Structures are given as C-alpha cells and as structure tokens.
Amino acid sequence: MPQSDYVIEVDNLTKAYGKQEVLRGIDLKVTRGTMLALLGPNGAGKTTTVRILSTLLKYDGGTVKVEGYDVTDQADKVRSVIGLTGQSAAVDELLTGRENLVMMGRLYRLTADSAKARAQELLEEFDLLKAADRPAKTYSGGMRRRLDLAVSLIATPPVIFLDEPTTGLDPRSRLVMWDIIKKLMEKGTTILLTTQYLEEADHLADQIVVIDGGKVIAQGTAKQLKAKVGNDRLELVFKNTADFNAAVEALGKEVGDRNEKEFSLTVLIRDTNTDVKRTLETLAKHQIAIASMAIHKPTLDDVFLSLTGKQKQATEEDK
Amino acid sequence: MAAELVFEHKSKLWFTINDSLLMIKRSSRHIIRNTDQLLGAFFQPIMFLVLFASVFGGSISKALPPGITYINYLMAGIIVQTVAFGSTTTALSICGDLQKGIVDRFRSLPMGNLAVLNGHIVSDLFRNAISTFVMLIAGLVIGFRSHASLLNWLEIAGILILFTLAFSWLAAIVGILAKSVEAVQWLTFVLIFPLTFASTAFVPPVGMNSVLRAFAVNQPITQVVEAVRALILGTPIGNHAWLAVVWSLGLMVVAIPVASWLFRRRTTN
C-alpha cells in the first residue's frame, strides 16, 4: 500500500441523522507527525467526525482514509494503527489501572509479557504508579483521563484521536494533559485533537480547522487565523472624562473603539515599536496622564467571533 | 528508551477465542469487585429458599406425593428461579457497558465484535454456579437431602448450564435494547417473574386453572425444573430432560443471532 503524505485524509465527508445534517462536507488533511485541532462549539460535528475516523460510525458521503486505509472497507487495518481517547473516559471502572492497560494491550494483539511491560512503562510515565493497583473508579477526574490516554497509547499507535481530552478538567490537570500531549507530539505521533478551547488549539496544534454547523469555516495556523481578525490593539485607560476627551482629540483618527464610561480607547498598531511610541509621545505632548495601558493580541476567541458572528456559549460557561 | 513491543502472530480463530477469554476474565473480575452484586448472589437465593420453605412448606406439602418433603421438592425450583432472575445481571452489565462508552473503546480496537457479549455471558455462568452452590449448602442446613448419583448431578449441571446460557442470551437482547439500567430492571422483571411463577417451580400444577396450567406445564422453565427435580428426587424423568435441552438449545438458536445482530447495529450507529 503506497503511503500518502497525509496520514488522515477526509474528503467531502457528509453525515445525517435522519433529516438532521450533522456534517455537511468536511475536508481534512493531516500531515505525518503533526497535530490538527478541530475547533468548534458543542454540536459543531467534532465528535461525529472523530467517531467516523475511528470506525465507530458509518457516514453517508465522501471518503475517509487513515494511513491510506479506508475506514469502511479496511476497518480492521485502521483499528490497528489508531488510538482513541473519547470524551467520556472509557476505562473499566471495576478493573485497576494496570488491569485496564494490560487488557487493552492484549486486545491490541500484544503478547502477555509485552503488554505487562508496556503497562508498567505507561503507569510510570503518566504518574499513575501509586494508584496502579486500585480500581479505576477510585481515580480523580484527571487521573482517569490520564489512564484513558495511556490506554489508547498502549500499543504506541502512530495515529491518535483525542476527543476533547481536557473538557471538564481543572486547570492544573489540564496543564498536565498538555504536557503529556506535547511529549506525544515530540515522538512523532500524528494527532487529531478536538476542542472547544481556543487556547488549547492555539497552544498545541500545528494546524487548526474551525468547524461550525458541520462545515469548515476557517483553517490555517493559529497565526494565520489571528491575522484574519486584524492587528494588535493598544488599549489606553484614563483617569477622568477630561483626560479621555483630550486624548480623543489629540489622537484624532487613530482612535479605534472607545468607551466613554470607562474612559478607555483603543489604538490599532501595525508596528509595535513606532506606533506605540508615537501614541505615547502624542499624549505626553498634550500632558494627558494615563491610568493604565495594555497591548492586546487578537485571541482565537476573536477569530471565532468574527467568523461565526456568535458567542460560543459552551466555552463561556466552562471558563 | 521504551521497551520493544512484541505482537502476537496467530490465526484469526486464535484471536477470536483469545478476545473472548480476555472479556471473560474482565467480566469475572467484575463479579468479585462488585460487592453489592456478589452479596446479592449469596443472599438472595438463601432468602428465597428459607422463605418459601417455611412459608409455603406446611400447606404445599399436603399436595405433594407421599414421601416427598417440600424442601426436596422446592430445591429444583429455587435453583432454576435463581438462574432465571440472575440473567438480569447479564442484561444490566451489557446495558451498562453500552452506556459508559467502553464499548466504543473496544470497538476501536482490532478485536472481535461479540467478545464483549461472550464475556458477560460466560462469567454469568460462574456467578450462577456460585449461587447454586451456596443454595445447596443452605438447603442441606435446613433439611434438603438427595440420593442422586454423581452422574445425576452431572446431568443436572449440564441441563442448568444450557438453560443459563439460553436465558443469558435472552437477557443480552434486553440489555442491548434497553435505553437505561432502570428499563432493564422492569423489563426483565415483567418477563421473568411471570415465567418463573407460572411454572411448577414452587407448586405442583394441580391447583391452577386450566388455562394457566396448560401454559405452566408446557413452558421451558417447567421442563427444566421438572428434569432437575426428577434427577434430585429419583422420580421418573419422562420427556422433561430432552425437552429442557431442546428448549434451551432452541432459545439459543434464536437469541444468539438476534443479540449479535442487535449488538452490531447498536454499536455502529
């Protein structure tokens, strides 16, 4: 089988539940050893896409290939090269961490000895050694996610699907997960990650595909996506209305957004050095005092807002 | 550096069997770890045995053939009833697996599709064996005696194993179809309760009205109960043994493909 440059290739993928179209022509291409983040709000079609890629779900139209294998016709081949970490941590709660790992290793066709050795290795790597022989139902949320991820890595598959791996985790556990995911990337694993957290995609992924309502609405690197939204902004806050008004007058058409109640305004900057300096010099010349100032880089939240024109409610609630 | 991974290179059949063995190991561990369920497997049969023997014993023994005590008569019925009720656990485990997403994980592995079902059904045999053993001991304590030979006991075991498998596969269908654990509870209750009580498990059919009796003496549970009872009491077994076997095999012939098909369907869409 000639291997394509792309480890994951999705072409015009469609899926409907009855009349409800969930995926309306998704295209994805993931290069070997890179991470693609599928970013979107709840119900965008992220999990559906991952379920189709991991052979769990039939689809209606398009082609879906993993490592060159068709997910429908060569499902068994696909299953032997992928690892899946689902949204709800799918570990056996009555088995211990170690038993879970060994069992999954055996089901991945590892020999008993090899499965045991690999389980030990993963327990150490994921900081689960102390809890290794306790039933998984006694684990904390973060531990359970780590075990879940460890289980999907038991046979070191070259392709990993991470379906919202940090949803519902506390900030510290999330950082731990990020570290683990980064280590995976260093080892050359090809990863498709879904997330509602723009920050997560920004932090981890090489490529980001934004989907909403079953369609790709934007893609590119975090940098490219941010560039779509625009430049950095200098935000200036003044002490009172008099200073604020004087500043508006002095800066003239350079002023972008303004908020009279909070005495604040923003100035668009193209070059941080010259533009910030010039703005501050103008204010100094007019003897206008500043209460505070900050430079805002556009966040992926801004990207999302400007692309979909709506609030991502799920993300806001989670924060 | 990570240890080198060593993969098995065996035939497809070997993997199919090995997958099922792994799942049997998993489900059997569940029996031991699930303390509530384990206590149920111990005490529920004892409770039924003692209650029935002491509450109904006095009245029913008058309707029994001379020389047969109610406890000796009841034993077969209670064992079969326990097995039938125990199949609820199979349904619950399968329903639970489907809801927790672990089946998704199994299905993303290169493993046999039906190994999960096999695991639950075979481990259920173990659990039922424990229950039956506990019951026999409890029975001996409160006066149960049998002159059955070792061969008779092996025949009893064979009939019960077939019956347990048949009922577990039926329960698997319920477990796959049910949308929640609660649904499993009442579904199995509605199916199994009437089937066990409208049989000769606890009382001879002489006092039943004609419609009920016609149903009671011909349905599978009665065949199994009567076969086991005849072997325990040393009375003529008639057609009951082979009818029990035919019923169990017949139920399996229907239930296994249906359960497998439903399981595949439920897990692919």
**Chain B hits for A53, Cβ within 8 Å:** none
Report the pLDDT value the prediction gives residue A311, as an integer from 0 to 100: 45
DSSP state of B7: B
Vertex B222: Cα angle to B135 and B84 (nearest 5): 50
Nearest CA in chain A to B4: A114
Burial call B6-36: b when 16+ CB within 10 Å, e when fewer: eeeeeeeeebbebbbebbbbbbbbbbebbee
Q: What is the largest CA-CA distance in chain A?
A: 78
DSSP string, chain A: -PPPSEEEEEEEEEEEETTEEEEEEEEEEEETT-EEEEE--TTSSHHHHHHHHTTSS--SEEEEEETTEETTTTHHHHHHHEEEE-SS----TTSBHHHHHHHHHHHTTB-HHHHHHHHHHHHHHTT-STTTTSBGGGS-HHHHHHHHHHHHTTT--SEEEEESTTTT--HHHHHHHHHHHHHHHHTT-EEEEEES-HHHHHHH-SEEEEEETTEEEEEE-HHHHHHHH--EEEEEE-SSHHHHHHHHHHHGGGEEEEETTTTEEEEEESSHHHHHHHHHHHHHHTT---SEEEEEPPPHHHHHHHHH-S--HHHHHH-
Q: What is the pTM of this model?
A: 0.81
Report the pLDDT value the prediction gives residue B266, as an integer from 0 to 100: 84
CA of B161 to nearest chain A CA: how many angstroms apart? Answer: 26
Burial call A283-319: b when 16+ CB within 10 Å, e when fewer: beeeebeeeebeeeebebbbbbeebbeeebeebeeee
CA of B92 to nearest chain A CA: how many angstroms apart? Answer: 15
Evaluate whether ipTM surpasses 0.95: no
Q: Rounded mean pLDDT of A164-187?
A: 89
Residue stretches of chain B with pLDDT short of 50 = 1
- Local confidence band at A313 (pLDDT 50, 70, 90 cut-offs): very low
DSSP state of B198: T
Contacts of B173 (CB under 8 A, 6+ apart): B255, B258, B259, B262
Phi, psi of A207 (to 5 degrees): -130, 145
Nearest CA in chain B to A118: B3
B22 to A99: CB separation less than 8 angstroms, yes or no: no
**Chain A hits for B101, Cβ within 8 Å:** 86-90
- Local confidence band at A319 (pLDDT 50, 70, 90 cut-offs): very low
B104 to A103: CB separation less than 8 angstroms, yes or no: no
Please provide the average confidence, as pLDDT, over all residues in chain A. 87
Res. A1: pLDDT tops 50? no
**Chain B hits for A114, Cβ within 8 Å:** 3-7
Helix axes B220-233, B210-218, angle to 10 degrees: 70
Res. A135: pLDDT tops 80? yes
CATH of region A6-226, choose from 3.40.710.10, 3.30.565.10, 3.40.50.300, 3.40.640.10: 3.40.50.300
A114 to B15: CB separation less than 8 angstroms, yes or no: no
CATH topology of domain A231-296: Alpha-Beta Plaits (3.30.70)
Res. A258: pLDDT tops 90? no
Contact A50, A84 (CB under 8 A): yes
Q: Which of residues 132-191 of B touch A (CB under 8 A)?
A: none
**Can you tell me the distance from the alpha carbon of B115 to that of B244, in angstroms, rounded to the nearest whole number?**
27
Task: Nearest by CB to A155, from B5, B25, B267: name it.
Answer: B5
**Can you tell me the distance from the alpha carbon of A251 to that of A266, in angstroms, rounded to the nearest whole number?**
10
Tell me the two tokens of residue A284.
């100094």
Contact B142, B49 (CB under 8 A): yes
Could you tell me if B1 lies within 8 Å of chain A, comparing CB atoms?
no
Task: Nearest by CB to A103, from B22, B101, B269: name it.
Answer: B22
Lowest mean pLDDT: which of A125-139, A204-218, A257-271?
Answer: A257-271
Report the pLDDT value the prediction gives residue A111, as an integer from 0 to 100: 94
Report the pLDDT value the prediction gives residue A271, as an integer from 0 to 100: 79
**Which residue has better confidence, A54 or A3?**
A54
Contact B73, B233 (CB under 8 A): yes
B36 closest CA partner among B85, B89, B77, B76: B89
Report the pLDDT value the prediction gives residue A89, as an integer from 0 to 100: 57
What single letter denotes the amino acid at residue A308?
Answer: T
Res. A100: pLDDT tops 90? yes
**Which residue has better confidence, A169 or A100?**
A100
Count of alpha carbons within 13 Å of A228, Cβ hemisphere only?
17
- Local confidence band at A310 (pLDDT 50, 70, 90 cut-offs): low
Report the pLDDT value the prediction gives residue A275, as an integer from 0 to 100: 86
**Chain A hits for B34, Cβ within 8 Å:** 94
**Can you tell me the distance from the alpha carbon of A293 to that of B227, in angstroms, rounded to the nearest whole number?**
90
**Chain A hits for B106, Cβ within 8 Å:** 107
A90 to B102: CB separation less than 8 angstroms, yes or no: yes
What is the total residue count of chain A? 319
Tell me the two tokens of residue B202.
């606890």
Burial of residue A254 (CB within 10 Å: 0-12, 13-18, 19+) is middle
**Chain A hits for B105, Cβ within 8 Å:** 84, 86, 90-91, 104, 151-152
Burial of residue B243 (CB within 10 Å: 0-12, 13-18, 19+) is middle
Contacts of B194 (CB under 8 A, 6+ apart): none
Contact B56, B202 (CB under 8 A): yes
Task: Nearest by CB to B109, from A57, A108, A113: name it.
Answer: A108
Tell me the two tokens of residue B170.
């039926």
Phi, psi of B174 (to 5 degrees): -60, -45
What are the structural domain ranges in chain A? 6-226, 231-296
* Tally of CB atoms within 10 A around A97: 30
Q: Rounded mean pLDDT of A61-79?
A: 92
Phi, psi of B186 (to 5 degrees): -75, -30
Task: Nearest by CB to B110, from A84, A108, A114: name it.
Answer: A108
Report the pLDDT value the prediction gives residue A136, as an integer from 0 to 100: 94
Nearest CA in chain B to A91: B102
